[in-house]
Amino acid sequence: MAGGKIRKEKPSRAGSSHFQGGVSFHKSKGQHILKNPLLVDSIVQKSGIKSTDVILEIGPGTGNLTKKLLEAGKMVIAVELDPRMVLELERRFQGTPFSAKLKVIQGDVLKCDLPYFDICVANIPYQISSPLTFKLLSHRPAFRCAVIMFQREFAMRLVAQPGDNLYCRLSVNTQLLARVSHLLKVGRNNFRPPPKVDSSVVRIEPRKPLPSVNFKEWDGLMRICFNRKNKTLGSIFRQKSVLSLLEKNYKTLKALELSQKGLSEDTPMEMDVSELGDANDDLNMEVDDGIDEEMELEDDDARGEGSEFKDKVLSVLKQDNFRRRGHPSSCKRSS
């Protein structure tokens, strides 16, 4: 009730859609609890859980999915931020055979150190989708797979293929590190309280071993490629600002005599991978605002003193015919 008169006939009706077991749910915290038991069973079945698996669940809420996971696996590690939900979860399984199989960690999953697990099954708060995805992919030792509920648009971007309208930097970075597949679409009415958007369940299987690349450099390249929605690769890499940035970085690398190679070897792989996650990926798409103040470099402009690097870039664009190719979404990732 927010102001106005108190009406006796409405509290129970409103409460039924926002409460379970006396616990209220906060949409601002992404608390949307799965209420459809058939859907819960389907998620567990599609996860392929083994009886020996240690299962990580993120955002267990009141434990509807947790119960099925406890029945299927060896142990469930549940990470929950809300202390009210932690108490409800512990109370629900206290005195049951599942009590010894459940470990609850209260805290922010993005900040806490995750223990060993074989598989992750979770209905997560959608606002942490991107950073959580890459935190999981940076976890070592690598898990077998993750089956996660995402906002549908985010899920479609995860699984998008070259040529799809939703193919973006998130698609490339995720598929560089993992095999991603769409399992099922979930309507908003399967949740309490219902979110404003539909959802999808996605399966993520980490690639083993990971590709041998510097992930900071890779992500920098992807940010350039997908910076403008309707720009061709040829147009992007002919912009003077992009060429200047690339040349500056190239000269710095040469001046340091490839010292970054030593740094990347000393830096844990987990740190590099996790930096691919961007919270802005959760809600925003790459957009073209229709304003382009960048100047494109013509072939004649590259002639002159200090243009050797620009010549190399332009020759690559010509050689691979990038001037006539479309947006990066239409280009397949090279092996």
Asked if 118 and 206 touch (Cβ cutoff 8 Å), the reply is no
Phi, psi dihedrals of residue 20, rounded to the nearest 5°: -150, 125
Asked if 105 and 112 touch (Cβ cutoff 8 Å), the reply is yes
Radius of gyration of the chain from its Cα atoms, rounded to whole angstroms: 24
Instruction: Give me the residues paired with residue 205 across strands.
Output: 179
Contacts of 247 (CB under 8 A, 6+ apart): 309, 310
Binding-site residues sit at: 32, 34, 59, 80, 108, 123
Q: Could you tell me how many residues make up the chain?
A: 335
DSSP single-letter state for residue 235: H
Instruction: Using CB atoms within 10 Å of the CB of residue 189, give its burial: 0 to 12 exposed, 13 to 18 middle, 19+ buried.
Output: exposed
What are 274's two structure tokens? 């996790």
Binding-site residues for S-adenosyl-L-methionine sit at: 32, 34, 59, 80, 108, 123
Beta strands at 75-80 and 33-34: parallel, antiparallel or unpaired: unpaired
CA nearest neighbour of 252 among 224, 217, 223: 217
CA nearest neighbour of 72 among 57, 52, 56, 91: 52
What are the helix (H) ranges across the chain?
11-18, 37-47, 64-72, 83-93, 129-137, 152-159, 169-177, 215-225, 233-236, 240-255, 259-266, 269-274, 308-319
